[in-house]
A and B are shown apart, each in its own frame.
Chain A
C-alpha cells in the first residue's frame, strides 16, 4: 500500500443542527414564490439537507420539504413531483438552486387556473439552522486506518463530512474525496465511487452503510 508522508491525517469532526424559525411563511403558491425570493440561502439549504438531521420518517414520499408541502398541503401532485426532482447537487451554488425552484413554481402558476392554496394550519414555515461543529479528537493517518472505524461514525459526522462539506470546500466535494488523492492513484476508484454516491436519496444511516461498503471494497483491493 502506498502512503504519503506529507498527507495530513483525516480529522473526524461531528456536528449538531438546531432549527430556527425564519418568521416567513406562505399559504398560497404565489406567496411561496415571493418568499423564496427573500429567504436566506441557508433556509433553502436547510429544507433540502437539514431535514436529514431533523426528526422525520425515514421513508418520506418526497425528499425535500418544498415537495412534501406541495403534496400534503397544496395537494398539487405534479408540482410535488417536479420539486422533488430539483436535485441540489446539480447546482453550483444555492442561488442557482433558488432560481430553479422559482422557475418550477412560475411554470406551475402559469399552467394553473387558480392559485393553489393550503389550509391556514398547513402553511409553509421557512426554517434555517445553526450548525455546531466540534472535533471528536479522532485522527486517521491513512484510508486503511479509517476504513474499520467508518461503521462507528455518528450520523452527525456523516452529515458534516459528506453533506456539509459540499457547501464549504472549494471543490464542492465530500471531505473523503478531498483527502484521498494524497494517497496515490490506487485510491482513484474510491474517489470515483464516492462521487457516484447520491446523498439526496438516502438517509444518513444508508449513506454510512454505503460508505462502509465502498471503502471496504477499495481498501481490500489495495491491500491485495
Chain B
C-alpha cells in the first residue's frame, strides 16, 4: 500500500474533522503525539474483500496522518492454506471441524514462508497487529521480537470448537496482548485482553452521501422495482450469515405485503466456500422474480452504498457474527436493521430503538411487516440508528482505542497511565 503525500494526509484529517467533529480529531492528535514516529505494522490475509481489509484501507493512512509510521502487509498462501483457515473460521464459531494434519502443516509452512518475506518489517516494528488466525503463527518465527505483538481477533469465538482453539492457542499465548470485539469472545489467555469494537469509514465510497441519480442508476441496473418495498441483506455467501433464513423471512412477510428481496454479496479471496453457499441460495430463490441474488466484485462499494440507500429495511440475520460492519453501514444511512440476536450485532442494534433483534425467520418476517406498515417508526428508528453510529462506530473511535491501547502497552500494566505530563 503506497503512502499518501503529506498534503493528502493533512487533507484526510480535515475531511474527518468535517464528519466526526473538531473535538474528536483534536483528541486523536493529542493521543498520538507521544507515539509520533512509532513503527506499526498490521498483517492480515487479504487486501480486498471482508471487513478487516476495509478497515485497514483507512486506518493505515489515518495513523500516518497522525505521525505514526504505519504500514500494512498481507500474507499469501496456496489453496490448502485457505482451506485450513476457513476451517479455523468455522471451528472458532462453534462448528466441529476436524482439520487433517496435512492442512495444519500447510498452515504452519505458509506462516514460516511469510515470516521470512516480512522479517525485516516485523522485526523492526514497535507494534505488530496480527489480524485473525491466518497469520497468527507468524509470531513463532520471531522468538525475540523487539516490539509489542498484538493479536486482533474479529470473529465470534464465544464458544469455539475446543480442539481447534487449543491448536491455535499455542501461537496466541506468545503475544503481548489480544483484542476481541466483545468481552463474550475473550478466551483465557496469559496476557491482557482488550475489548475494541470495529467501525465503519464514513468517507469511503461504501458510506459517503450519494446523489439520487446514482441510487436510481443502480436500481435500474439490477431491474429493481421502484414501486415495491425493498429489503436487503449485504454479506458474503456464508452459512453463518443465514441467507436461506432471509429468503424464508421474505417469503413469510411477502404473503401479505408485496416486496422485493435483494441479497448482495461478494467473495473474499480467503473464503473458499462462497461458491457452494451461493449455489444453495440460488436454488432456494428458485424463479421468484422478486428475489435478486447479486454476486458483486469486492470493489463494488458504490453499488452496495446505493443498494443500502435504496432499501427500506436492511437485514443482517446472522447466526454468528463477530461484529457485522454492514449493520453499521446501513444504520449510518438511516436504515433500521433487523439483525440476528447474536455477537456483535447486539452492540449495534438496540432492540426496538435502532432496529430489532430476531432469532428466527418468523421473527424477521414479523418485524419486516411491522416496519413496512409503520413508516413513521421506520424513519424514527433510522434517525436514531444514524446518530448511534455517528457517536460510537465511526473509524475515529476505533483509532482512538488503538492509540490508547498502544500507549497502555508501552507504559506497563497499571490502571492509570499519564503521558506527556
Contact = CB atoms under 8 A, between A and B. Distances in A.
Please indicate whether A and B come from the same complex rather than being unrelated chains: yes
A133 B408 CA distance: 10
A18 B30 contact: no
A121 B420 CA distance: 42
A49 B196 CA distance: 18
Contacts of A18: 194, 196, 401, 404-405, 408
Interface stretch (A2-10, A29-37, A50-58, A175-183): A50-58
Interface of B: 23, 26-27, 30-31, 33-34, 158-159, 180, 183-184, 186, 188, 192-197, 342, 347, 350, 353-354, 388, 391-393, 397, 400-401, 403-405, 407-408, 411, 413-421
B184 A55 contact: no
A133 B421 contact: yes
A134 B34 contact: yes
A154 interface: yes
A131 interface: yes
A132 B411 CA distance: 10
Given A57-B388, A134-B421, A16 B31 contact: yes
A129 interface: yes
Interface in A1-47: 13-14, 16-21, 23, 42
B186 A21 contact: yes
29 contacts: A16-B27, A16-B31, A16-B400, A16-B404, A17-B404, A18-B401, A19-B194, A20-B194, A20-B195, A42-B415, A55-B197, A55-B391, A55-B393, A57-B354, A123-B184, A125-B186, A130-B413, A130-B414, A131-B417, A132-B418, A133-B416, A133-B421, A134-B30, A134-B31, A134-B418, A134-B419, A154-B26, A155-B23, A156-B27
Contacts of B413: 130
A168 to B, nearest CB: 8
Interface residues of A, number: 33
Contact of A55 (B194, B397, B404, B408): B397
A224 interface: no
A74 interface: no
Nearest to A23: B188
A207 to B, nearest CB: 15
A57 B411 CA distance: 31
Given A16-B400, A21-B195, A154 B27 contact: yes
Contacts of B193: 20-21, 23
A58 B390 CA distance: 12
Contacts of A136: 30
Contacts of A132: 31, 404, 407-408, 411, 417-419
B391 A58 contact: yes
A190 interface: no
Given A130-B413, A131-B415, 18 more contacts: A18-B404, A18-B405, A19-B183, A20-B194, A20-B195, A21-B194, A42-B415, A129-B415, A130-B404, A131-B416, A132-B31, A132-B411, A132-B418, A133-B416, A134-B420, A152-B23, A154-B23, A154-B27
A54 to B, nearest CB: 8
Contacts of B194: 18-21
A135 interface: yes
B346 to A, nearest CB: 9
A128 interface: yes
Contacts of A58: 391
Given A18-B401, A19-B194, A132-B404, A57 B353 contact: yes
A224 B305 CA distance: 56
Nearest to A203: B391
Nearest to A72: B351
Contact of A133 (B186, B197, B419): B419
A79 B411 CA distance: 40
Interchain residue pairs A-B with the least CB separation, the first 4 = A55-B392, A125-B183, A21-B186, A19-B195
A127 interface: yes
- Max chain A CB contacts within 10 Å: which of B196, B353, B414, B421? B421
A164 B342 CA distance: 33
B400 to A, nearest CB: 6
Nearest to B192: A20
A21 B183 contact: yes
A133 B183 CA distance: 24
